[in-house]
Structure 1
Amino acid sequence: MIMRTIIPTGTTRRTGTRMTDTALLTLSQWMSPSFPLGSFAYSHGLEQAVSEGAVHDGASMERWLDAVLRFGGGWSDAVILSVVLRGAEPHEMADFAAALAPTQERWIETRDQGAAFARTVRDIAGLDVEDAAIPVVVGVAARTLDLPVETVLMLYLSSFASNLVSAGVRFIPLGQSDGQSVLSRLHPVIAQIAQTASCASLDDLATSAFAGDVASARHEDLDVRIFKT
């Protein structure tokens, strides 16, 4: 008699696949706007750029975000996250990230969101993660997921860009559809940066988004502010 195993619809024979799917869902939760980081309060200097008129519509916001992703905080965060995922010592990288912050507000932004992320993953997952800059904390936590480095980087950068698009939608103001169109056009940029950073070293780390850094510094003295940074 031939015995047959019936696999219910929607299940899989491969435990490894189920584990990967669960890990991807976990990372998606961590990178979700609903994850309690307080990221809605930070604009990465975008508020200053809008106040000065440098960013005033979808096209100018896309150019600004493209530069930040390729040459500013997006690239530096991606490299730090990548090297942590690949085994770099977290305390050393935490000190490096602190030294790399170009302004006081940018340090506050990465420090506070990193602390909020660490606190939440300690509470919900019991992970032993210390407070640090957010790319360091995410890297340490994501090591437990055993996902490809490039995948983690893409979701991190997508979350980073999404938060800034949301800030632009609220402050320019920009329509929701226009904001999502900007984010969609940035997907190839995000994928390219993730691919490059996935095998980068600290020797590849350099930034040249000077206008964004100056906007962050000038934001410290902005008279009326909606965002912390």
Structure 2
Amino acid sequence: MSPAFPVGSFAYSHGLEQAVAADEVTTSAALADWLGDVLTLGAGRADAILLASALRGEDATALAATARALAASRERWDETIAQGRAFAEAASATGTPVDALPFPVAVGVAARTLGLPAEQVIGVYLHAFASNLVSAAVRFVPLGQAEGQRVLAGLHPAITAVAADAAGQGVEDIASFVPRGDLAAMRHETMDVRIFRT
């Protein structure tokens, strides 16, 4: 989940760019609230459960179909598919063959052989997800680097809690309710000027 692993996460804001442009996220406090909701009530939690299910060895094809169905917009669909494909290519090149699957499913399949606790794998995935969005906000809000790191540090309890909770859940437990984030992702598709792909 290193930023150096070539999955292209830096190109995605998960709708955050639109939320910033609409003056919904203009401070570190607003960013922390927005990201906290995405992590605990939205795509972060859903991805964590999909990853946990893949780690347990559940059918990757079925999980991939669920992941695609959960994408709240075309760009979110593109985000999970493109990052999953890039992850699979990079993992396969390093000796861990993985099919091109939506990102959380591909990570779960690749991590099966590591023998790590599910909470740890999920936590690292969620930390990378949150880190990427904080990095986007540092560039676009803008926030200073130190302020961005404070936001990320403040999200660690939520990341830990979601990872622990998701480790024991299955796809039937997935629920998402982050209308502000989903609407931002949909509206991002029609922005005239965009830096990020989502």
Q: Does 1:105 find its partner at 2:66?
A: no
Superposed CA offset, 1:132-153 (max 9, x none): 1000100000001011001100
2:100 maps to amino acid: D
Q: How many residues align?
A: 198
Q: Distance in 1 between matches of 2:83 and 2:125?
A: 13
Alignment-derived partner of residue 31 in structure 2: 61
Q: Distance in 2 between matches of 1:204 and 1:99?
A: 15
Q: Does 1:149 find its partner at 2:118?
A: yes
Q: Distance in 1 between matches of 2:97 and 2:130?
A: 28
- TM-score, normalization by structure 1: 0.86
Q: Distance in 2 between matches of 1:100 and 1:67?
A: 16
**C-alpha displacement of 1:108:** 0.4
Alignment-derived partner of residue 16 in structure 2: 46
Over aligned residue pairs, what C-alpha RMSD do you find? 0.6
Q: Distance in 1 between matches of 2:68 and 2:61?
A: 11
1:78-97 mapped onto 2 (5 Å cutoff): 78-97=48-67
Alignment-derived partner of residue 139 in structure 2: 170
Alignment-derived partner of residue 100 in structure 2: 131
Q: Does 1:182 find its partner at 2:128?
A: no
Helix, strand or coil at the partner of 1:186: helix
Q: Distance in 2 between matches of 1:38 and 1:98?
A: 19
1:29-40 mapped onto 2 (5 Å cutoff): 31-40=1-10
Helix, strand or coil at the partner of 2:191: coil
**C-alpha displacement of 1:202:** 1.5
**C-alpha displacement of 1:128:** 2.4
- TM-score, normalization by structure 2: 0.99
Superposed CA offset, 1:107-130 (max 9, x none): 0001000000000011112x2211
**C-alpha displacement of 1:203:** 1.8
1:51 maps to amino acid: A
Q: Distance in 1 between matches of 2:63 and 2:21?
A: 34
**C-alpha displacement of 1:198:** 0.5
Helix, strand or coil at the partner of 2:123: helix
Q: Distance in 2 between matches of 1:128 and 1:175?
A: 39
Picking from 158, 174, 179, the partner of 1:210 is 179
1:48 maps to amino acid: Q
- Please list every run of 5 or more consecutive structure 2 residues that lacks an aligned counterpart in the other structure: none
**C-alpha displacement of 1:76:** 0.5
> What's the % identity of the aligned pairs?
52
Alignment-derived partner of residue 17 in structure 1: none
Alignment-derived partner of residue 163 in structure 2: 194
Q: Distance in 2 between matches of 1:162 and 1:173?
A: 15
- Please list every run of 5 or more consecutive structure 1 residues that lacks an aligned counterpart in the other structure: 1-30
Please identify the structure whose Cα radius of gyration is greater: 1
2:73 maps to amino acid: T
**C-alpha displacement of 1:201:** 1.4
